A = this chain, B = another copy of it.
Amino acid sequence: MVHVVDITDPADPRLDDFRDLNSSDRRPDLPEGKGLVIAEGVLVVQRLVESRFEPLALLGVERRLGELADDLVDVDVPFYRTTADVMAEAVGFHLNRGVLAAARRPAPLDLADVVADARTVAILEGVNDHENLGSMFRNAAGLGADAVLFGGACADPLYRRSVRVSMGHVLRVPFATVPDWPRGLSVLRDNGFQLVSLTPNPTAVPLAEAMTGEKVALLLGAEGPGLTEHAMRATDVRARIPMAPGTDSLNVATAAAMAFYERVRTG
């Protein structure tokens, strides 16, 4: 069980891992990012506790400690119990979720392990919006995709905003980096994956017809630029979501959801 420590002074150094979260958000920003992982709110803290991430400490109000009691039975770290006001002063803003957990980043997962038993994975290139990354993991979890892989130039999926938007699923859905992008895609090919590029290009094959593999890896680029030609050339087929004329591409996480759905529907 967590050991409850009452805190009355917002300057207490034991709260340093939770201090000024908005400014610690300005840390360097790479998929291999540094810094602690912060979970906000009861649901995300529950997911953190069940995940491969190990909490260092929690900070929250009495009510949230009560709500989390069953989840924290096997968690042997401090729970800094305080008031909403002290919490707001330490964190730097008012948090109406009332509880935070801080965790160290575990060692990155090995790409070969992540893809070994997977059937559907998303591979991202140039996706540098934390909200989109979070939505991607939420949609992957909801629609049963097995992993998210990072090709070139993506942002840190463990950034606080991304963790929050993912509803904690970034802590559950495995992710790994594809080295030597895009040549490293050979690992997927060697594991029997069909490599499918998603593109708004109207000459591409409709999504439902394009995904013919037993195992499918979906490549998605950032909104706007999309996938690089370099990456698309390394794939087996270019697929498009049928779009209405005169509209833009869908949000990248929504496009992925459409493909995940198609895999579930035909799976």
Interface positions of A (Cβ within 8 A of B): 135, 138-139, 141-144, 167, 169, 208, 241-244, 247-251, 253-254, 257-258, 261, 264-265
Contacts and interface: CB of A to CB of B under 8 A. Distances in A.
Contacts of A257: 250, 254, 257-258
A127 B265 CA distance: 27
A114 to B, nearest CB: 17
22 contacts: A135-B251, A138-B251, A141-B244, A142-B243, A142-B247, A142-B248, A142-B250, A143-B243, A143-B244, A144-B243, A144-B244, A167-B248, A241-B261, A242-B261, A242-B264, A250-B257, A253-B254, A254-B254, A254-B257, A258-B258, A258-B261, A261-B261
Contacts of A251: 135, 138
A250 B257 CA distance: 9
Contacts of A142: 243-244, 247-250
Contacts of A169: 247
Contacts of A265: 208, 242
Nearest to A267: B242
A242 B208 CA distance: 17
Nearest to A206: B265
A247 B135 contact: no
A142 B247 CA distance: 5
A112 to B, nearest CB: 23
Given A138-B251, A242-B265, 16 more contacts: A135-B251, A139-B250, A141-B244, A141-B247, A142-B244, A142-B248, A142-B250, A143-B244, A144-B243, A167-B248, A242-B261, A242-B264, A250-B257, A253-B254, A257-B258, A258-B258
Please indicate which of the listed interface residues A135, A143, A167 has the most CB atoms of chain B within 10 Å of its own CB: A143
Contacts of A249: 142
Please indicate which of the listed interface residues A241, A243, A247, A253 has the most CB atoms of chain B within 10 Å of its own CB: A247
A134 B264 CA distance: 27
A36 to B, nearest CB: 25
A135 B241 CA distance: 17
Please indicate which of the listed interface residues A135, A241, A258 has the most CB atoms of chain B within 10 Å of its own CB: A258
Nearest to A168: B248
Contacts of A241: 143, 261
A140 B145 CA distance: 24
A243 B132 CA distance: 20
